[in-house]
Homo-oligomer: A and B are copies of this chain.
């Protein structure tokens, strides 16, 4: 198998963090998406969504989506230590928290960044080059959503070291990615949410993020 990736891309980093946590390496090839390599063959045909990362499995099946790639690597190759959970209940609980963090935080912040930074002019939607315009109101909405998310999780984090409890999980990798997006947008976590700040500080000390 081979991982096609671009290390500077946030979703590419999520897979790198996963592998660092597992202390594993797999064959890897960089695709420079800033230069548009993903629109050229053979990459164009391999992933018609024109994004990285994607994983080519030995029968040539392509798996894109960073979380799906990590899910496959854990189930098929690197089960321990688990990041997705070892019982149906824990898997569902971790999946729930990962979804909440992605849908209400990571994804709206990603949209905010792509609609704000001059770097993303003419590439507002991932995997495109077109004239779709940046919309300032989407930046504002992203900030509103992350404020709401942090308000919702702060009390939960008072009693939980990581977002799912004592155990570091894939949802914490999403959490870390949220905090990095906040940095890019220069959004500061309100001081009225001390448990969220404590969670960020706990995450920032984990070795696996040094990729």
Interfacial residues, chain A to chain B (CB-CB below 8 A): 48-49, 57, 59, 61, 63-65, 67-69, 71-72, 75-76, 88-89, 91-93, 95-96, 99-100, 102-103, 107, 125, 128, 132, 135, 137-138, 140-141, 144-145, 148, 152, 155-156
Contacts and interface: CB of A to CB of B under 8 A. Distances in A.
A99 B67 contact: yes
Contacts of A64: 96, 100
Contact of A76 (B68, B88, B125): B88
A63 B141 contact: no
Contact of A65 (B71, B76, B95): B95
Contact of A96 (B65, B95, B144): B65
B63 A91 contact: no
A67 B155 CA distance: 24
Number of copies: 2
17 contacts: A48-B152, A48-B155, A48-B156, A49-B100, A61-B89, A61-B93, A63-B92, A63-B93, A63-B96, A67-B99, A68-B92, A68-B95, A68-B96, A71-B88, A72-B92, A125-B144, A132-B144
Contact of A135 (B72, B88, B91, B141): B141
Contacts of A67: 95, 99
A108 to B, nearest CB: 9
A97 to B, nearest CB: 9
Contacts of A61: 89, 93
Contact of A138 (B69, B125, B141): B141
A92 B107 contact: no
